[in-house]
Every structure is written in structure tokens, then in C-alpha cells.
Amino acid sequence: MGVSGVGKSTIGKLLAQDLNIPFFDGDDFHPESNITKMSSGQPLNDDDRQPWLETLNALAKKELIKNSCIIVCSALKQKYRDIVSKEIESKTKWVHLSGSYEQICERMNSRTKHFMPSELLQSQFDILENPTEALQIDVSKTPQNIIRTIKHELMDASEFGVFGLGVMGKSLCRNLANNGFKISMFNRHVEGLEEDIATNFKTQFKELSQAAAFDDIAAFVNSLQQPKKIMLMVNAGKAIDDVIEDLLPYLSESDILIDCGNSNYKKTKERYEYLKTKNIHLVGAGVSGGEEGALKGPSIMPSGAKEAYKKVKLYLEAISAKDKDNLPCCTYIGPDGSGHFIKMVHNGIEYVEMQLLAEVSTILEALGQNPSEIADTLESWKGQASSYLLDITTSIFRKKEGNDWLVNKVLDKAGNKGTGNWTAIASAELGVPSTLIASALFTRYMSFYKEERLQLNKSFKKGSYVKFKITFNELFEAYQFARIINHYQGFKLITEASKSYAWNLNLSEIARIWTSGCIIKSKLMKDLVEIFKNTSNLLTHKKIIETLNQYKSSTKTVVLQSILNDVSIPALSEAIQFFNGITTAYSSANIIQAQRDYFGAHTYQRLDDNSGKNYHTNWK
Ligand code: NDP
């Protein structure tokens, strides 16, 4: 692209010859009316250009099916380029041939066959919007030099960079390489500790033979095509800020950083704003699936400026898991930190799903089952309640070490990396009752009080007060009941955040990208994709109402029996408590309001006055 007379056709033809791909001169695709208009000295308006640009877009799409091609056209405004690259944004590489007005005017005047009079050149300079996403080429260089530069930038340079080769970074690099992308990989050099990480990693896997390995930031960044696209796969928190500062001196306008770590969504918004002041894009992308998911296809939740996302969409969608219709489990979530928010809620839901499986397994143990039998019971639920977490829990209960089950030897202190904590905080800040997430989180925290638990266990003996009587079917129904409440709460939190932050999130689409590749993929999640097409409130859906009504009695039995037998089941019991609360027409909150008014004159509203008027009473 570039103004008329800049030498686009000459360079384009030479490049096409060199690369052995078809060449098209955009001017050949102008409708007759445009040619007549230009020949008579009139400039084209945007309406004139629209069909022409659409034709070029169709041409590019057609050629991309076969291989690739070179198209030259002026494409001076961003909106023109948007039309030409529509739906093929990531596959389109813009090269801007640029020179001064005088330089090009001279060239124009020396040409005879061109149908555009050189007087119109100024109007082209006037409307030229500098394409920051394009490779900038100074036309004063020789054609051979220009071809060499373009080829180096577009062919030799890597299209995508990965910064941080820890557990996730390594798997994502292999995934990108397996998808045919030319990547650059970076890991820092720390004398005596972290040396030659990238080069050693490259030699371990044959799919990385084309990848470039670095431990020098400048070389890494310079190895990338413009605009540079760098995935950050480092620990969340300060490391991200440090890495951004380390990279900034080497970045230029319109480069894109993609933070794929578990960053806090508020920090992502701050970083997004900060980088915006430097004209650098930040795509905050939640990634779920663990090490294996990252390698074979994770669920990816990207957010930020949509224009920036479009430029990395090709890569993220290619490496993501695919749903039942083979659609990528990666979708643009929304503005600023919404992708990391969604990932955070994903983890909150995950905490509860894990806790529920831990509780039902504890109940099965209390009912007398050994780990292999627990695995059998869980496996029998697969038909109706299949999920990744059910699968792995089944496998865990089967794993033996010697004659004993390994699970029995694992210290009962549950760790966490903070996303459950953030989900609970976000719920509290947004005023959303995510009671199950809080319950699962605090249960993990409680597990850490091991010494105190051991001591208190001696003081407060546990016993059974009735025969522990629960059928497997009742337990299954209670488990499913609690899972529905968990998903209700998780998606409620998303709904409320979407309203508060004006993110306009699509619940069905979020559920869809969680049907494959991620830790909370399940049959229930697949059902939610359809349910959320019709309602944003799970508890108003006919099928869900029927199921909860059907399973409620079993849930009560399971909770009651567990309490009577001193079995700790915080999430299962919270599920029924929450359900009773959210389905209560006249709750005990009237008493709270009266108490608040009594001691603090906080006032209250009355059921018999709809005006919203606040009353205060002297209650003594
Ligand atoms: P690792 O600890 O395995 O790797 C962290 C990487 O970050 C390492 O390459 C490390 O380099 C690099 N790093 C840390 N600090 C700096 C710094 N200041 N400058 C340069 N490099 C730095 O973490 P994971 O790969 O497991 O996780 C990465 C991110 O992905 C985290 O945010 C995590 O929460 C998230 N995540 C992890 C999942 C998992 O299952 N593991 C799943 C989904 C998301 P070095 O080796 O030199 O220390």
C-alpha cells in the first residue's frame, strides 16, 4: 500500500516473482465508473471505493484458500484497509511503501501511462492515515534492498513471541509450533540458575526446529514481525509489571502484549490503561487447561481492545481447544480486564467443583467404601454427570502406591494461588452472594490449620448419632443439586460484573468456550450453552427448576445425615442453605433491618409503602 506513484506495482511484482505467488494490481479491479472519474481528474469518494475494496477483499480470501498472493492498492485510510482485510485480519500483512511528496511527485511526472494526474497526489497525502500495523518501507532504498527487507520481516522474522518458558509457556510454545506458526521463545538468563532455558528447550522437541530461542530481550523482540505480538507466560503479580517494563524499551506503536497468566482483572485494566498511553495494546487473556491443556488445546478467554484481539485471534484460536462443532474454545470476551475476570470466576467454580467431589468422596468413605470402590461409584456417575474433574478424581482414587492407595498418603492441606480469594473478594465488592465459592475457599484455608485440627480432634470426639444412611442415588442427586447452585452462582457473578462494568458479556458464549480444554468442562456446561441462549438466570429455566425440585429431597437427606454423623460438608450444606434463602419470599432480613434501625437509626422501608420512603422508629 501507499500513495499512487510510490512504486507499489514494481515492488509488488518483484516480490511476487521472488516468492512465486500471484500478483494483483488493485487498480485493475476498479469499476469502470471509478476509472472514468479518476481520468477526468475527480477524486474518488468513499462510496466509490467501497465496491472496489470489497472486490479486493474477496480476491484476497479466494487466493488465501490456495496459498497467498500480493495485492497492491493505495488503501490510504484505516477503514479502507479494514474492508480489504475483513475476516482475514490476522492473515493480512500490510507493507507501507512511503516517501516524501516531492520524491513521489517526481516519479509520477516521469510516468506517462498512469491514469491519475499527479495534481491529485496531494489529496492522497492529505487523506493518508499512517498504518501503524504495517511494515514501513522507505522507498528511497533500491528495489532489491526493499525486497530483502520485506522478505526478512515477513518471512524470516517470527510471527509470534512467547515470553516465559515455565510449565505453561513451554506447552503453549509447542502448541503454537504444532500449529505451524513460526515463533520466538524467550526465557530470562539468571547466572547459575536459569541458563540457556530457551535453547535447551528448543532441542528437546522436533516441532520447535523452526522456532527461534533467546535469552536476550532485545534480540527476542527484534526477531518478531511488526506489529510484534508477545504472549507473556510469567507468574501473575509483580513479575508481569517487571516484564512489561523490561520489554517496553524495545516495543513500538501498535505492538501487542498478551498476558496469559492468571492476572487480577483490576491490575489488567490498570496495565491496559498504562500501555495505552504508550500506544501499546494489552490483551488480557485467561487460559485454562493446565499443562496438558496448554499443549493440546486450552480454553482461552481474551479481552482488551477488539482491534488488538483481531490481530492475535488467528494464533489464539488455532491453539485453543475445539468444541463439539469444532469451533475454537476462544472468543473475544469484552473490554479491559473482562477476560481475566472470567478466568477468575472459572477458577472459583473450579474450587467448588473440586470441593464437592472431595465431600461426596468423604461421604462415600464414611459409608464404608475404600478408594477403589469410591472410584467405581464416581465412575458410575459419568453418564449423567461427566466432567473433567469427575474423571481425574476417579483416577486419583484408583492410584496405588504399593498395597495402599496414594490418595490416603497425601497431606490434607489444600494450597491455592489466589484466584479463589479474588473471586470471593470480587463477589463481596459487587454484592453477589457467591456463598459456595467462599465456602470452598475457606475450607481450603481451614485445611491449613492442621496442627489445630489434630489438637481439637482430641478434645471434640466425633461420632455417629444415627446409622449413616444415604443411598448412592441420593448422594448423586445432592452432588448434582449443589453443582447447579455452583454454576448459578458463578454465572450470576459474571452477570453482575457485566452490568457493573458495562462489559456486555455473552453467557452462552462463555459457557461454550468452557465446554472443552478447561478444568471445568462438563456435560452440565454443555447444557448451559443452550440454557443461556434463552435466559441469564439459570434458576428460571424450566428444566433446571424441575431438576432442583426433584433433587432437593436427596440433598436434604445427604446434608442431614452428614451433619448427624459429624462429616464436614461445607459446600453441600451451603448449597441447600443458599437454595432455601434464594427461594424464600419473605426472609429474615426484616429483622436485620429492624435491628439496624434500633441501634444505628439506619431506617427501614415498609412492605405496606411502595414509595421507597425510609422510616425510623424508636423501638424501645
Ligand atoms: P512457572 O512458575 O512454571 O513459570 C513462570 C515463568 O515466568 C518462568 O519462565 C519464569 O522464569 C518466568 N518469570 C517469572 N518472573 C519473571 C521475571 N521477573 N522476569 C522474567 N521472567 C520471569 O508458571 P506457570 O507456567 O505454571 O504459570 C504462568 C502463568 O500462567 C501464571 O500466571 C499462572 O497462574 C498461569 N496459569 C498456570 C496454569 C497451570 O496449570 N500451571 C494454568 C493456567 C494459568 P524463570 O524460569 O527464569 O524463573
Say yes or no: 381 and 323 in one domain.
no
For residue 262 and ligand 1, the question of a CB distance below 6 A is answered with yes
For residue 168 and ligand 1, the question of a CB distance below 6 A is answered with yes
Q: Tell me the Cα Rg of the chain.
A: 30
For the stretch 412-453, pLDDT in tens is: 999 998 899 999 999 999 999 999 999 999 999 999 999 999
Could you tell me which of 86, 32, 99 has the C-alpha nearest to residue 56?
86
pLDDT top residue among 191 and 506: 506
pLDDT of res. 282: 98
Number of domains in the chain: 4
Say yes or no: 203 and 68 in one domain.
no
Q: Kindly state whether residue 305 falls inside one of the protein's structural domains.
A: yes
Say yes or no: 263 and 407 in one domain.
no
Categorize the per-residue pLDDT at 116 as very low, low, confident or very high, splitting at 50, 70 and 90.
low
For residue 169 and ligand 1, the question of a CB distance below 6 A is answered with yes
Where residue 262 sits, what CATH number does that domain have? 3.40.50.720
For the record, the C-alpha cell of 502 comes out as 458495562
Pocket test for ligand 1, best of 235, 248, 518, 520 (most atoms within 8 A of CB): 235
**pLDDT of 156 above 80:** yes
Strands 160-163 and 183-186: parallel
User: Rounded to whole angstroms, how far apart are CA atoms 137 and 65?
Assistant: 28
Question: Domain end: 125, 154, 183, which one?
Answer: 154
**Stretch among 23-37, 75-89, 119-133 having the lowest mean pLDDT:** 119-133
For residue 243 and ligand 1, the question of a CB distance below 6 A is answered with yes
pLDDT of res. 153: 84
Q: Kindly state whether residue 1 falls inside one of the protein's structural domains.
A: no
Where residue 614 sits, what CATH number does that domain have? 1.20.5.320
User: Rounded to whole angstroms, how far apart are CA atoms 250 and 257?
Assistant: 12
Say yes or no: 292 and 312 in one domain.
yes
For residue 261 and ligand 1, the question of a CB distance below 6 A is answered with yes
For the stretch 192-221, pLDDT in tens is: 888 999 999 999 999 999 999 999 999 999
Residue 373 contacts by C-beta under 8 Å, 6 or more apart in sequence? 364
Q: Kindly state whether residue 559 falls inside one of the protein's structural domains.
A: yes
Contact status, residue 264 vs residue 279, Cβ threshold 8 Å: no
Name residue, grid cell 458464549: 509
Between the CA of 443 and the centroid of ligand 1 the distance, in Å, is: 26
Q: How many CA atoms lie within 13 A of 394 on its CB side?
A: 15
Q: Kindly state whether residue 65 falls inside one of the protein's structural domains.
A: yes
Between the CA of 220 and the centroid of ligand 1 the distance, in Å, is: 18
Question: Domain end: 154, 170, 186, which one?
Answer: 154
Query: Average pLDDT, stretch 396-400?
Result: 98
Where residue 392 sits, what CATH number does that domain have? 1.10.1040.10
Q: Kindly state whether residue 503 falls inside one of the protein's structural domains.
A: yes
Q: Kindly state whether residue 341 falls inside one of the protein's structural domains.
A: no
For residue 242 and ligand 1, the question of a CB distance below 6 A is answered with yes
Between the CA of 341 and the centroid of ligand 1 the distance, in Å, is: 19
Residue 268 contacts by C-beta under 8 Å, 6 or more apart in sequence? 259, 282, 284, 303, 336, 337, 339, 340
Among candidate residues 343, 492, 521, 526, the one labeled active-site is 343
Tell me the percentage of the chain whose pLDDT exceeds 70: 99
Question: Which range marks the domain in which residue 591 is found?
Answer: 587-620
Taking CA atoms only, the protein residue closest to ligand 1 atom 7 is 234
Give the angle subtended at the CA of 100 by the CAs of 94 and 105, to the nearest 5°.
105
Between the CA of 90 and the centroid of ligand 1 the distance, in Å, is: 27
Categorize the per-residue pLDDT at 243 as very low, low, confident or very high, splitting at 50, 70 and 90.
very high
Name residue, grid cell 528511497: 140
User: Rounded to whole angstroms, how far apart are CA atoms 120 and 238?
Assistant: 53
CA quadruple 317, 293, 158, 305: dihedral positive or negative? positive
Ligand 1: nearest atom to the Cα of 417: 34
pLDDT of res. 109: 74
Residue 317 carries which side chain, given as an amino acid letter?
E
Categorize the per-residue pLDDT at 565 as very low, low, confident or very high, splitting at 50, 70 and 90.
very high
For residue 239 and ligand 1, the question of a CB distance below 6 A is answered with yes
User: Rounded to whole angstroms, how far apart are CA atoms 326 and 372?
Assistant: 35
pLDDT of res. 228: 94
pLDDT of res. 167: 96
Pocket test for ligand 1, best of 162, 196, 233 (most atoms within 8 A of CB): 233
Say yes or no: 258 and 406 in one domain.
no
**pLDDT of 266 above 80:** yes
Say yes or no: 408 and 541 in one domain.
yes
User: Rounded to whole angstroms, how far apart are CA atoms 405 and 361?
Assistant: 14
pLDDT of res. 112: 55
**pLDDT of 41 above 90:** no
Contact status, residue 361 vs residue 393, Cβ threshold 8 Å: yes
Taking CA atoms only, the protein residue closest to ligand 1 atom 38 is 290
Residue 153 annotated to the active site: no
Residue 350 annotated to the active site: yes
For the stretch 327-366, pLDDT in tens is: 999 999 999 999 999 999 999 999 999 999 999 999 999 9
pLDDT of res. 102: 87
Q: Kindly state whether residue 3 falls inside one of the protein's structural domains.
A: no
- DSSP state string for 179-218: TT--EEEE---BTTTB-SHHHHHHHH-GGGTT-EEES-HH
Q: Kindly state whether residue 27 falls inside one of the protein's structural domains.
A: yes
Say yes or no: 283 and 223 in one domain.
yes
Categorize the per-residue pLDDT at 484 as very low, low, confident or very high, splitting at 50, 70 and 90.
very high
User: Rounded to whole angstroms, how far apart are CA atoms 286 and 557?
Assistant: 38
Say yes or no: 351 and 396 in one domain.
yes
Say yes or no: 593 and 569 in one domain.
no
Contact status, residue 421 vs residue 448, Cβ threshold 8 Å: no
Q: Is 333 exposed, middle or buried (0-12, 13-18, 19+ CB in 10 A)?
A: buried
User: Rounded to whole angstroms, how far apart are CA atoms 255 and 608?
Assistant: 60
Say yes or no: 499 and 469 in one domain.
yes
Between the CA of 186 and the centroid of ligand 1 the distance, in Å, is: 12
Mean residue pLDDT of the chain comes to: 94
For residue 298 and ligand 1, the question of a CB distance below 6 A is answered with no
Where residue 87 sits, what CATH number does that domain have? 3.40.50.300
For residue 188 and ligand 1, the question of a CB distance below 6 A is answered with yes
Ligand 1: nearest atom to the Cα of 288: 43
Among candidate residues 159, 350, 359, 477, the one labeled active-site is 350
Between the CA of 493 and the centroid of ligand 1 the distance, in Å, is: 27
Categorize the per-residue pLDDT at 117 as very low, low, confident or very high, splitting at 50, 70 and 90.
low
pLDDT of res. 38: 84
For residue 218 and ligand 1, the question of a CB distance below 6 A is answered with no
Say yes or no: 166 and 298 in one domain.
yes
Say yes or no: 132 and 119 in one domain.
yes
Taking CA atoms only, the protein residue closest to ligand 1 atom 26 is 167
Contact status, residue 223 vs residue 197, Cβ threshold 8 Å: no
For residue 286 and ligand 1, the question of a CB distance below 6 A is answered with no
Question: Domain end: 336, 371, 403, which one?
Answer: 336
